[in-house]
Amino acid sequence: MVESVQPKFARQELVKDAAYINGKWVKESDATFEVTDPASGEVIATLPDQDVSAVDEAIDAAYEAFGSFKKTTGRQRAVWLRKMYELMTEHAEDLGKLLSWENGKSLAEGVGEIKYAASFYEWYAEEAPRVNGTTINSAVPGNRVFTQRQPVGVCGIICPWNFPSAMITRKAGAALAAGCTVVLKPDSQTPLSALALAHVAEKAGVPPGVFNVVLSHTHTPEFGLRLCESPKVKKVSFTGSTAVGKILMKQSASTLKKLSFELGGNAPLIVFEDADLDKAVNEAIACKFRGLGQTCVCANRLYVQKSIIDKFTAMFSEKVNKFVIGHGLKEGVTHGCLINPDAIKKVEAHAKDAIDKGAKVVVKGGRLPELGPSFYSPTVLTNVPQDADVTKQETFGPLCAIVPFETAEEVVKWANDTNVGLAAYLFSKNVDTIYTVSEALETGMVSCNTGVFSECAVPFGGVKESGFGREGSLHGVEDYTVIKSTVIGGLPERL
């Protein structure tokens, strides 16, 4: 088994064992749940397993706080957001250790996520003073028309385990910039990062009730239901599976609240024969195996033109064989473990299906029981047929399926043959190919000649059953506002 690793924190106060409601740390609960290190299985924290009354308390606090917070200026909110960015940057190493400890990803990836997460607070600090309306010329001579963007209200935020910090800041940063208050429900597998961000908000001086974190393992579905059905909550933002997104959408119908969903993906990565092969391989590695494939935008299907598929596969596999897998907090480890043993089952099922249908094993990979039940060495398959399950379903793990294609028309058809559309990647030196193929792909985002495109300036979101709404960028605040139109009539003729 992998040896136990106990991280040392320069700021131990970042590690919390209580929920955060209305500016207070709340431990009272009839039950508790344990947070474990997915690499070693050791318990690293025991937290209150709150019941639904905690959600009601947090919603009431956020609703009360909204009455005053919405009246603050964008410039004042920018000060709080900027301070949160500075605190996250100052404590990036500690926050990265905490994230890696509860999530299993390598420390380098953990610290990288913290810096990425902090950038959203910086971005929205700059956007907060610029939440502006418009003036509109009326067809009626005596009328004047203008609009205002006003905060939507209390926002319920439900976040996943795979990016336990970045998914929070990307949502909460926009909400706070707009003047909204939030009730956050983190995944029970990775709640410590959320609580650390609550500590950051507290230290930054964010007013009580504006940023709330509720905790539960046993009652997670009830928490989601309460956020969706509460008339005091005006918006719900969720990142997770398409199946859960559909449930939340149904539950929100009773109050017709505003929604933004970032749901499942099945990203194609297309490599044309004229691509810079070294670059394509390096970028595909970074894209496919970030978080060991446990990301919504990682390449799930690698389509490589037949004329170069053998060379690409050889170069790709050589790099995979150099991975160092182990506890994410150990020095020299490039890739950690999966979130839990169950995550391996889908990887194995998709690999077996593809092999049974004729795929060739290039890197066998497989379980690493000597390290622990959540460790899996990446598998690389080539000549995967288009009818394999891995081309139709998101694997969310370290299986690389390389599919040969011949023409642009063929690969675009295959890439679009799915009910989701979050991200896609393509590699080519031909600007005609880049433009026409990217335009034809049915996804919310297309990344050309780079495998890692996410940054705070890029609008993030999908189409089809990958959801709706955009996070980050100049558009990110829009989903947390409503447009009010004001018409002044009966004015005298223009002088």
Under a CB-based contact definition with an 8 Å cutoff, are residues 54 and 21 in contact?
yes
Output the DSSP codes for 80-97. HHHHHHHHHHHTHHHHHH
Query: Catalytic pick from 109, 113, 262, 471?
Result: 262
Q: What length is written for the chain?
A: 495
CA-based nearest residue to 59, from 7, 21, 89, 90: 21
Rounded CA-CA distance 117/471 in Å is 12
Can you read off the two tokens belonging to residue 391?
């081309």
CA-based nearest residue to 88, from 198, 215, 211, 238: 198
Can you read off the two tokens belonging to residue 372?
């622990």
φ/ψ bin of 57: left (φ > 0), alpha (ψ from -120 to 50), beta (otherwise): alpha
CA-based nearest residue to 123, from 178, 170, 90: 170
In the DSSP assignment, the letter for residue 128 is G
CA-based nearest residue to 3, from 330, 375, 335: 330
Rounded CA-CA distance 484/301 in Å is 44
Q: Please report, as a single letter, which amino acid is at residue 26.
A: V
Sequence-distant (6+) residues with CB within 8 A of 476 are 123, 124, 127, 170, 173, 174, 459, 470
CA-based nearest residue to 15, from 82, 109, 108, 101: 101
Beta-ladder partners of 75: none
Q: Please report, as a single letter, which amino acid is at residue 83.
A: K
Beta-ladder partners of 260: 237
Under a CB-based contact definition with an 8 Å cutoff, are residues 35 and 192 in contact?
yes
Q: 3-class secondary structure for 381-420?
A: EECCCCCCHHHHCCCCCCEEEEEEECCHHHHHHHHCCCCE
Can you read off the two tokens belonging to residue 146?
């203008």
Q: Produce one character per residue of 355-367: b if its CB has 16 or more CB atoms within 10 Å, e if not.
A: eeeebeebbebeb
Burial of 130 (0-12, 13-18, 19+ CB in 10 A): exposed
493 is catalytic: no
Beta-ladder partners of 460: 471
Residues classed as catalytic:
262
